[in-house]
Structure 1
Amino acid sequence: MNRNKQQSPDTVEVWWSSEVDSGGPGWFAGPQDIPYKLSRQPDLQLTAPQVQEVASIVVTPNHVCQQMLGMGTSLEETTVGNLAKMSPSARESILRLLVDKQSGIGLNLIRITLGTSDFTGQAFYTYNDLAEGETDFEQRHFSIQKDVDLGIVETVQQLLAIAPEVEIFASPWSPPAWMKTSGSLKRGSLKEGEEYTTALAKYYRLAIQAYQEQGIPIYAMTLQNEPLFETDYPSCYMPPERQRELALALRQELDRHGLTTELWIFDHNFSDAWDYVTPILNKGEGYAAVDGIALHDYKGSPEVMSELHAAYPHKPIYLTERSLWGTAGADRMAQYFRNYASSYNAWVTMLDSNISPHQWLGTPGPTMFIQDAIDVDRYWIIPEYYLLGQFTRFVEPEAFRVASDYGSHSTVTNVVFHNPDGSLIAVVINQSESEQEFRMLCEGWQFAAKLPAKTVGTYRWQRTAAGKE
């Protein structure tokens, strides 16, 4: 699985991964055969352009788009709780499969939750839970000890020991109940008044500092997971005007204490993005306090990210939550990047074979790793791990997306990146039921390829070879 061996300047390296029972519940019953699992294929040759009656993809590396932050998954308490049941060696093997650059798929952006989310086997908690009627504006009772006791801190520390370059970002599902109109972690909104805004800003600053003291720098945080959604698990309605107040207060808190954690606003669906971000970013103070825009893909179209990029070109866009399955999912991920997302994060990394534990109100789909609920050191990997790896093993941090024709669902689609080392990475997706032949044209050269049905291919070549420099 070594990605770093010397590459001939006129060759194109090729890897394939295929879908099987895409998103099907059968994966919880046990492993299945997967034809291609990041399987290395024979190199292709860069040649002079030729006349061919096949789908053509035109790549224009000089047309540079957004810079990538990274791609990854989540270490929410469901995953951590299942990992905690395993032996140390089995637990480490999964973490290495996630973030190791040689034996794994090299994920470099991991999401954690501040307090519990719906994917947990625990009673819901925050870092400052009080008896009904009590308040603590000075945060005297603040503590992340529950995250320590549940192994969350230790798991993230272990992951960073394996891959120190990984960035961690955090998202809260709810402020403490005493700050909310519902008096509960479920439903409700942050109470009105500057004292509650200030208290919540201090609470988040303390959380960032507490993790930093554990050797876990928090690169960024979103201000509220899905702020337009109230439900019967930790959640909090937070309209944009209120989030703007929180962003200003939290930015002041962070600056006052010398913390560089980025603040990402919104963290919800494409469909509501415009109505939410404009009241925050169209005012000078709000614009200055915010470092990026976070989005989820459960409603709406990715094209809104291109609109937001055009409107706010200096505020990067991050796809912070969506689990995807099969080649259709790989194509959806390509669409995120083609519409200026600088990141992608999957949600929930490992359920067990009983689809546990969680307190979501629906039935989850299969996760990249599935743990045997009886023999907890046994686990199996579903195709989505390898399909994600078709991106993450090859697209480096600080790579830029470059322009390319999208293609079509009836043939192949794609997205192309330019790595800092000068390599070009084309991820090509065949969602069709038959093998597809295509050619890729780039800077005076081409390569021709065939891609099996329901398969994603990654193609890597050196730009100096293609660019006639």
Structure 2
Amino acid sequence: MTQVSLEIEDHLKEKQVEVYLTAKDTDDRLAKDKVGYGRVLEGFEGEGEIIPVVVKKNITYQTIEGFGGAFTEAGAYTMSRLPQELQDEMIEAYFDAEKGNKYRLCRTHINSCDFALGNYAYVEDEKDLNFETFSLERDHQYLIPMIRRAIDVCGDELKIFASPWSPPAWMKTTGKMNQGGQLKEEHRDTWARYIAKYVHEYAKVDIPLWGLSVQNEPAAVQTWDSCRYSAKEERDFVRDHLGPVFEKEGLDYLKLIVWDHNRDYLFDRASVILDDPEAAKYVWGVGFHWYCNGNFENLDMTMDAYPDVRLIFTEGCQEGGPHIGEWCVGERYGFNIIKDLNHYTAAWTDWNMLLDKQGGPNHVGNFCSAPIIADVKKGKLLYQSSFYYIGHFSRFIDVGAKRILCSTCHKDVLATAAVNPNGDTIIVVMNQTDDMQSVRVRGVSDEVFDYQMPRHSIVSFVVKA
């Protein structure tokens, strides 16, 4: 770290910015430091080797709803196999406001998902249309205890939304939960009431839900739990069944999220639903995943066309195994979070929080990475680069923060910024190049500050109010 071409006046010497650094090939993992302010020396304003990071606090955008990950049966089962002290460490690492990543917005699944130990539903009897046999027994084994542990740390600050991967097999055209299929027309209202029942039953075990997405990845036929909806079918289900059922049962406070699939078709899908005012009145936001090319312009178009809707990143992970120790995974997270925030995304939720060294368990072999990998045999937690990269946002950008204008002039040095409710300004800068890069941050006040970023690093600057 150096001051580059700056004059330090006496009244600036005590004025410092908190810096948190994570860098490849070092031991720096959210390592705290400080950097001082200065004034640019005459003749250096346009120095080419210094990358300007310009912020404008008076130009604000979306309000941030939070960051987090997903509670899955696979993650909860893996946690249960660890000694108590490691379970405590994992919960603290994600949810503690002082020592952890301060997760405050998380997802979970209705019925089974691929990251479950097998297919299951809460009602298996197709004749039980009043749900007298509805049971959360399966969730009580692993999933609910994990969620309860997080709530013990966060209290009512933790917001949870739920997503179905598939209705029970008996409600579907294929008669099975895996490999796509569709919701039978005669069970549209049944399924809406089933989801409402799920919300009520979770409330009874002191897990109130904040929101719900209509269907995980509704355009895909997956080898795992999945169910297809066309855009019109999703619109009609929301308008004619789910929305009215929620109103009738006093659940219209839930934040209803549509699409919940990739960015590439987000605008096309959202427009079909949101152009119908009778469907749109039930919709809070549009969810999306990253399993496609960037397509960030679709986020902008959606906000331009529907400024009252929220954008929420609902899932992303590194596919194809655990990828233990691979730095590029963290950079994928940093790149996507910065781009998503800069294109109006209000909330960002990762996929599994914890998996084993195989990248599972997963009942169809769809193994993936997670920010924390558990070595169950050795009794260790392996923190991945993604854990720290996510933390550079979630630890410092608070719920209720406002994104502010932030710009750089380098395609591989990315930045975003926000002002927290307490007035602190947070600037996150990522250097994904093979070289050290000098950045100069201006616009937070009349002064500027410089910082030399190591190769393949990410930095969070905290400028106190």
Q: Which residue of 1 aligns with 2:324?
A: none
Q: CA deviation at 1:46?
A: 5.1
Written as runs of structure 1 = structure 2, the 5 A alignment for 1:4-153 is: 10-19=15-24, 35-45=27-37, 47=39, 51-52=44-45, 53=47, 54-120=50-116, 122-130=117-125, 134-148=126-140, 150-153=141-144
Q: Which residue of 1 aligns with 2:422?
A: 421
Equivalent-residue separation in structure 2 for 1:197 and 1:381 (angstroms): 43
Q: CA deviation at 1:367?
A: 1.8
Written as runs of structure 1 = structure 2, the 5 A alignment for 1:414-453 is: 414-442=415-443, 443-453=445-455
Q: CA deviation at 1:48?
A: 5.9
CA contact (8 A) 2:114 2:364 kept: yes
CA contact (8 A) 2:232 2:273 kept: yes
| C-alpha spacing 1:146/1:107, structure 2 compared with 1 (3 Å) | same
Written as runs of structure 1 = structure 2, the 5 A alignment for 1:183-202 is: 183-193=175-185, 195-202=186-193
2:158 matches 1:166? yes
Written as runs of structure 1 = structure 2, the 5 A alignment for 1:313-352 is: 313-323=307-317, 325-352=329-356
| C-alpha spacing 1:96/1:292, structure 2 compared with 1 (3 Å) | same
Q: CA deviation at 1:77?
A: 1.2
Aligned match for 1:293, one of 273, 276, 286: 286
RMSD over equivalenced CA pairs, Å? 1.8
TM-score by length of 1: 0.88
Q: Which residue of 2 aligns with 1:4?
A: none
Q: Which residue of 2 aligns with 1:156?
A: 147
Residue 154 of structure 1 aligns with an amino acid whose one-letter code is P
Aligned match for 1:389, one of 382, 388, 391: 391
Equivalent-residue separation in structure 1 for 2:40 and 2:410 (angstroms): 24
Equivalent-residue separation in structure 1 for 2:342 and 2:414 (angstroms): 11
TM-score by length of 2: 0.89
CA contact (8 A) 2:94 2:102 kept: yes
CA contact (8 A) 1:44 1:447 kept: yes
2:167 matches 1:175? yes
| C-alpha spacing 1:84/1:289, structure 2 compared with 1 (3 Å) | same
SS at match of 2:411: coil
Deviation sequence 1:413-438 (CA, Å, 0-9, x none) = 10001100101100000011111001
Q: CA deviation at 1:140?
A: 2.5
Written as runs of structure 1 = structure 2, the 5 A alignment for 1:246-265 is: 246-248=237-239, 249-259=241-251, 260-265=253-258
Residue 309 of structure 2 aligns with an amino acid whose one-letter code is K
Q: Which residue of 2 aligns with 1:367?
A: 370
Equivalent-residue separation in structure 2 for 1:328 and 1:167 (angstroms): 25
Equivalent-residue separation in structure 1 for 2:301 and 2:41 (angstroms): 35
SS at match of 1:86: coil
SS at match of 2:280: helix
Q: Percent identity?
A: 24
CA contact (8 A) 1:96 1:104 kept: yes
CA contact (8 A) 1:18 1:387 kept: no
Q: CA deviation at 1:373?
A: 3.3
How many residue pairs were aligned? 434
| C-alpha spacing 1:447/1:287, structure 2 compared with 1 (3 Å) | same
User: Relative to structure 2, which stretch is displaced further, 138-147 or 320-329?
Assistant: 320-329
Residue 345 of structure 1 aligns with an amino acid whose one-letter code is T
Equivalent-residue separation in structure 2 for 1:351 and 1:155 (angstroms): 13
Runs of 5+ consecutive residues of structure 2 not aligned to the other structure: 1-12, 319-328
CA contact (8 A) 1:406 1:415 kept: no
Q: Which residue of 2 aligns with 1:407?
A: 409
Q: CA deviation at 1:187?
A: 2.7
Residue 326 of structure 1 aligns with an amino acid whose one-letter code is G
SS at match of 2:60: strand
| C-alpha spacing 1:103/1:138, structure 2 compared with 1 (3 Å) | same
| C-alpha spacing 1:14/1:82, structure 2 compared with 1 (3 Å) | same
| C-alpha spacing 1:438/1:371, structure 2 compared with 1 (3 Å) | same
User: Relative to structure 2, which stretch is displaced further, 380-389 or 226-235?
Assistant: 380-389
Q: CA deviation at 1:405?
A: 1.1
Q: CA deviation at 1:44?
A: 2.5
SS at match of 1:12: strand
Equivalent-residue separation in structure 1 for 2:450 and 2:346 (angstroms): 29
| C-alpha spacing 1:192/1:125, structure 2 compared with 1 (3 Å) | closer
| C-alpha spacing 1:9/1:345, structure 2 compared with 1 (3 Å) | farther
Residue 392 of structure 2 aligns with an amino acid whose one-letter code is Q
CA contact (8 A) 1:321 1:347 kept: yes
Equivalent-residue separation in structure 1 for 2:122 and 2:77 (angstroms): 18
2:352 matches 1:358? no
Q: Which residue of 2 aligns with 1:5?
A: none
SS at match of 2:360: coil
2:301 matches 1:307? yes
| C-alpha spacing 1:360/1:11, structure 2 compared with 1 (3 Å) | farther
| C-alpha spacing 1:198/1:39, structure 2 compared with 1 (3 Å) | same
Q: CA deviation at 1:341?
A: 0.6
CA contact (8 A) 1:180 1:188 kept: no
Equivalent-residue separation in structure 1 for 2:184 and 2:76 (angstroms): 35
Equivalent-residue separation in structure 1 for 2:179 and 2:415 (angstroms): 40
Q: Which residue of 2 aligns with 1:215?
A: 206
Equivalent-residue separation in structure 2 for 1:321 and 1:242 (angstroms): 22
| C-alpha spacing 1:445/1:205, structure 2 compared with 1 (3 Å) | same
CA contact (8 A) 2:402 2:419 kept: yes
| C-alpha spacing 1:264/1:378, structure 2 compared with 1 (3 Å) | same
Equivalent-residue separation in structure 1 for 2:151 and 2:415 (angstroms): 31
Residue 63 of structure 1 aligns with an amino acid whose one-letter code is I
Runs of 5+ consecutive residues of structure 1 not aligned to the other structure: 1-7, 21-33, 464-469
Equivalent-residue separation in structure 1 for 2:180 and 2:333 (angstroms): 33
| C-alpha spacing 1:403/1:328, structure 2 compared with 1 (3 Å) | same
CA contact (8 A) 1:18 1:327 kept: no
